[in-house]
């Protein structure tokens, strides 16, 4: 059977993607941020999965305001990079895993979560920046990501957005779905977006270090309690775009301890302020 071996969490700031693509990672502004991702990159090399189930949000790139799925699973064979602002990043197309994705859709929908099935979509910085940060930059001669990725898009842009509790319970259903797939695949689940940031209005630039670090503590030790945090707390304390953090709860809900297993081991934790307008957080939890 397939198994979820670990969960990885990271912010997705588009300026980080631009810094990588424009060769600025050693500049004084960026160096401390990229240094904090080195242990995670090393961990990933030593713990390469067969598939990544990547929870992220689209920023009106694949889905415009004409159509806003709350939860959308990518069942395609491949996804092209696309982006607003800087334009599509010069990164490889993302290979999907249609068989596992279709199985997860079947299982999760039968567990009463209504997913939108997406057979064609482009993926923006919400998905490609986490891949660059953790997998590194693909070689020019072998221009591909290290493994297939199942994109799972969550609406955190247009209200109403799903609650942390709903995301956490969905994670549990995704774990059951993956671990009932009849092939011995090593699967990682990634939760991305956040941490505190606000890009608009009078509070633009808001960052809340104390709240972010308490969030990281609770992600590790008390996710059940964290799942009860109402979305208004995210917006008040972590800014309007801080709501992206509810996506981390999907990945956390898929860890073994939420179904009676052992508490996960912390393989890496990192926090840095700022990157562009955003506080950056990164966490790697291994199932034991």
Note whether 197 binds ligand DHB by CB under 6 A.
yes
Residue 197 known to be catalytic: yes
Nearest approach in angstroms of CB 243 to ligand DHB is 10
Note whether 83 binds ligand DHB by CB under 6 A.
no
Nearest approach in angstroms of CB 207 to ligand DHB is 10
Note whether 246 binds ligand DHB by CB under 6 A.
no
Note whether 153 binds ligand DHB by CB under 6 A.
no
Total chain residues near ligand DHB (CB under 6 A): 11
Helix ranges, the chain (H): 14-21, 31-46, 98-110, 125-135, 164-178, 209-221, 223-226, 231-238, 248-253
Tell me the window of 87-95, 218-226, 251-259, 271-279 that interacts with ligand DHB (CB under 6 A): 271-279
Tell me the window of 94-102, 103-111, 211-219, 274-282 that interacts with ligand DHB (CB under 6 A): 274-282
- Residue 195, both tokens: 């941490």
Q: How far, in Å, CA of 178 to CA of 25, rounded?
A: 36
Beta bridge pairs of residue 55 = 152, 191
Note whether 196 binds ligand DHB by CB under 6 A.
no
- Residue 178, both tokens: 């993956």
What is the full DSSP assignment across 30-87?
THHHHHHHHHHHHHHHHT--SEEEEEE---SSSS-TT---SEEEE-SSEEEE--STT-
Note whether 277 binds ligand DHB by CB under 6 A.
yes
Q: Please identify which residue in 58, 169, 241, 286 interacts with ligand DHB, judged by CB under 6 A.
A: 241
Per-residue binder mask for ligand DHB (CB under 6 A), 5-44, x = binder? -------xxxx-----------------------------
Residue 97 known to be catalytic: no
How far is residue 9 from each of residues 72, 109, 246, 248, measured CA to CA in Å? 19, 25, 11, 7
Q: How far, in Å, CA of 41 to CA of 162, rounded?
A: 31
Q: Footprint of ligand DHB on this chain (CB under 6 A)?
A: 12-15, 59, 197, 199, 241, 276-278
Q: Which residues are catalytic?
A: 125, 197
């Amino acid at each position: 059977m397939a198994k979820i071996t670990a969960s990885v969490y990271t912010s997705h700031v588009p300026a980080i993607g631009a810094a990588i693509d424009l060769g600025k990672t050693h500049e004084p502004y960026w160096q401390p941020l990229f240094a904090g991702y080195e242990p995670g990159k090393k961990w990933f090399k030593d713990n390469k999965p067969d598939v990544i189930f990547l929870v992220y949000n689209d920023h009106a790139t694949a889905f415009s305001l004409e159509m806003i799925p709350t939860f959308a699973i990518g069942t395609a064979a491949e996804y092209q990079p696309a982006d607003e602002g800087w334009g599509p990043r010069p990164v490889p197309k993302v290979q999907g895993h249609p068989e596992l994705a279709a199985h997860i859709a079947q299982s999760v929908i039968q567990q009463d979560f209504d997913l939108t099935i997406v057979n064609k979509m482009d993926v923006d910085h919400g998905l490609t920046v986490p891949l660059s940060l953790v997998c590194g930059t693909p070689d020019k001669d072998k221009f591909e990501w290290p493994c297939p990725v199942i994109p799972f898009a969550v609406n955190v842009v247009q209200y109403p957005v799903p609650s942390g509790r709903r995301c956490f319970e969905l994670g549990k259903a995704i774990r059951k779905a993956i671990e009932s797939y009849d092939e011995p695949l090593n699967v990682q689940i990634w939760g991305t977006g956040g941490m505190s940031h606000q890009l608009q209005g009078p509070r633009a630039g808001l960052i809340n270090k104390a709240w972010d670090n308490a969030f990281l503590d609770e992600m590790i030790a008390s996710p059940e309690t964290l799942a009860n945090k109402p979305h208004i707390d995210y917006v008040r304390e972590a800014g309007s775009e801080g709501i992206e953090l509810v996506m981390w709860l999907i990945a956390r809900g898929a860890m073994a301890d939420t179904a009676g297993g052992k508490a996960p081991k912390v393989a890496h934790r990192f926090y840095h302020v700022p990157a562009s307008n955003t506080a950056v957080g990164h966490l790697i939890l291994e199932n034991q």
